[in-house]
């Protein structure tokens, strides 16, 4: 017997809105870089329909990072400083 899991389109997303994704991304940057939330700036957001991932670009002080998040698990999968 083979058990199949539903595709990304059938699963309920925990990160439903851009606001949810930005909030999680900011939280990740604050934890990883000890950044002050007052100085975080959202540079760009993108949702990948095929993969079900959110991408949020944030800037603070003289740094920039792209945060990749799984929208179903509401989990940061990668933080890439640029």
Kindly give the confidence (pLDDT) of every residue in the chain, 82 residues in length, as a single tens digit, with 9 standing for 90 and above.
555 555 555 557 788 899 999 999 999 999 999 999 999 999 999 999 989 899 999 999 999 999 999 999 999 999 999 9
pLDDT value for 6: 52
- How far apart, in whole angstroms, are the C-alpha atoms of residue 77 and residue 55? 10
* Domain range for 46: 18-81
Residue 5 in domain? no
On average, the pLDDT of the chain sits at 89
Residue 4 in domain? no
- How far apart, in whole angstroms, are the C-alpha atoms of residue 78 and residue 3? 29
**Furthest-apart CA pair in the chain: how many Å?**
55
Residue 12 in domain? no
DSSP state of 79: E
Residue 40 in domain? yes
- How far apart, in whole angstroms, are the C-alpha atoms of residue 11 and residue 41? 31
Total structural domains in the chain? 1
Write out the DSSP string of 12-47. PPS--SHHHHHHHHHHHHHHHH---GGG-EEEEEEE
């Amino acid at each position: 017997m083979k058990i199949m899991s539903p595709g990304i389109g059938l699963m309920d997303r925990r990160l439903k809105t851009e606001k949810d994704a930005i909030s999680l991304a900011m939280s990740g940057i604050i934890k990883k870089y000890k950044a002050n939330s007052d100085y975080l700036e959202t540079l760009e957001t993108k949702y990948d329909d095929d993969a079900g991932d959110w991408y949020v670009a944030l800037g603070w002080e003289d740094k920039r990072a792209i945060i990749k998040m799984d929208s179903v698990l509401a989990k940061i999968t990668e933080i890439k400083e640029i």
